[in-house]
A and B are shown apart, each in its own frame.
Chain A
């Protein structure tokens, strides 16, 4: 009889059962809602605020992986043998970090529900850095070793002098202004903007426009599906340009003195443009007039430039995308 006076005895198990059913149901609904792009009704109660500045010892060439789900992340190289992080966290995100002097992993995690995360991470300048971002815009400056930035939906901006840069964003834009021996850049829909002195580059997009404006172009391979391609600059003696696109247009612009072995082919599209000579007695070349049409394919194979000058290869293949070459105006030539 007394047990009836203690209601928890009777309802404790059903309460737990009901709560667990509701929790499972709510998380499932929330997952489905998130999957379909709606705002979840339930939000974690994490207070937004400024993170305390934290730091770790790190070797000069430590491997460091940084995560940033949303907001902005600035990764900056500095002259100290340590890593520090500071900034502001959005509600719903929390901070984590740890590792050894040779390997660290840090950043923010969780799902932002309000506010905006803004993090500044300082790392040794020669550290090997990997960044993974959900929707966060990432900027990397002052690093000299290898940089690997991958973002699902954020913009990526990398600048400085680095050994090698790998940058990728599925839907964001990539801005890479570096002096580097190797650059790998990939985007799906975002714009790809590359500048600097690059010995070797492999640039890939699906629909995103791709602009390479380099002081000196080494070996460059470009692949797109229907993104427009624009390449401006001087090709190194040992360099080459290889462009393959399907529906995208291709615009190439070289200095007047540039020598090159052109191998251009466009299916269901035209080849055009005019190359104007400045020195060496080269006359203007109307490429449209020089192109040969066979069936639905237009092609042009020709060596341009002053006689005796190096002629790095320029190969372009398109399906439906027109090809146009022109001479860079003197005042707009990269590196001037």
Chain B
């Protein structure tokens, strides 16, 4: 009496090619004895021997293309972001006199300003910084720069204007302290 279901054709065992492959397998991986016909049908429906490698190569090419596309998207966005950074943060040394460029207080403010712009556009560091807070700090920089411009204009009109000179020093120190303080708070949230 056959062990197979009535609709199952008689199983003649594996052909030599399949048997050689099966013999190469560890013993515990050997399929059940009643699955030869199933394996043979599967093998019969397979394309010629070279096709899977071609398909795999195509798949790898497609993955590589996708990865390259994603990488180029990141590069494009980074370039756009850096361009907007440069546009939003002009060189703080641009309008300074030679004497001011040597003033350690001025250099401290310039360094702090550059730190702020770098940190604000460092996505890993500033990802959780609220936009409103960033905008407020940028607005504070603008407000302070506006007052600095006013004081510098007053000093240009009258180089002996002591109050204007003091105002410039005070404004620069406040701006430096503001940036330092804001960055410390934002890093702590």
- A284: Cβ under 8 A from any B Cβ: no
A5, B40: Cα distance in complex, Å:
12
Contacts of B42 in A (CB 8 A): 5
A189, B70: Cα distance in complex, Å:
39
Q: Which 5 A-B pairs have the closest CB atoms?
A: A31-B123, A171-B136, A153-B130, A25-B70, A152-B133
A18-B66, A153-B133, A186-B181 given; A226·B147 CB < 8 A: yes
Binding site for A on B (CB under 8 A): 21, 25, 42-43, 46, 52, 56, 59-60, 63, 66-67, 70-71, 73-74, 77-78, 81, 84, 121, 123-124, 126-133, 135-137, 139-140, 143-144, 146-147, 150-151, 154, 163-164, 167, 170-171, 174, 178, 181-182, 185-186, 188-189
Q: Which of A2, A190, A247 is the one whose CB lies under 8 Å from B25?
A: A2
Most buried by A among B66, B131, B133, B182: B133
Pairwise interchain contact A188-B178, C-beta atoms closer than 8 A: yes
Pairwise interchain contact B132-A14, C-beta atoms closer than 8 A: no
Dominant secondary structure at the A interface: mixed
- A100: Cβ under 8 A from any B Cβ: no
Q: How far is the CB of A133 from chain B (nearest CB, A)?
A: 7
Q: Which of A11, A150, A190 is the one whose CB lies under 8 Å from B185?
A: A150
A4-B52, A25-B73 given; A225·B144 CB < 8 A: yes
Contacts of A137 in B (CB 8 A): none
Q: Which of B74, B133, B150, B188 is the one whose CB lies under 8 Å from A171?
A: B133
Mark out the residues of chain A between 1 and 41 whose CB falls within 8 Å of any chain B CB in the assembled complex.
1-2, 4-5, 10-11, 14, 17-18, 21-22, 25, 28-29, 31-32, 34-37
Q: Which of B63, B71, B132 is the one whose CB lies under 8 Å from A153?
A: B132
Pairwise interchain contact A14-B60, C-beta atoms closer than 8 A: yes
Binding site for B on A (CB under 8 A): 1-2, 4-5, 10-11, 14, 17-18, 21-22, 25, 28-29, 31-32, 34-37, 67, 69, 111, 132-135, 150-153, 168, 170-172, 186, 188-190, 206-207, 223, 225-226, 244, 246-247, 265, 267-268, 296-297, 319-320
Contacts of B137 in A (CB 8 A): 170, 188
Q: How far is the CB of B100 from chain A (nearest CB, A)?
A: 19
A226, B171: Cα distance in complex, Å:
11
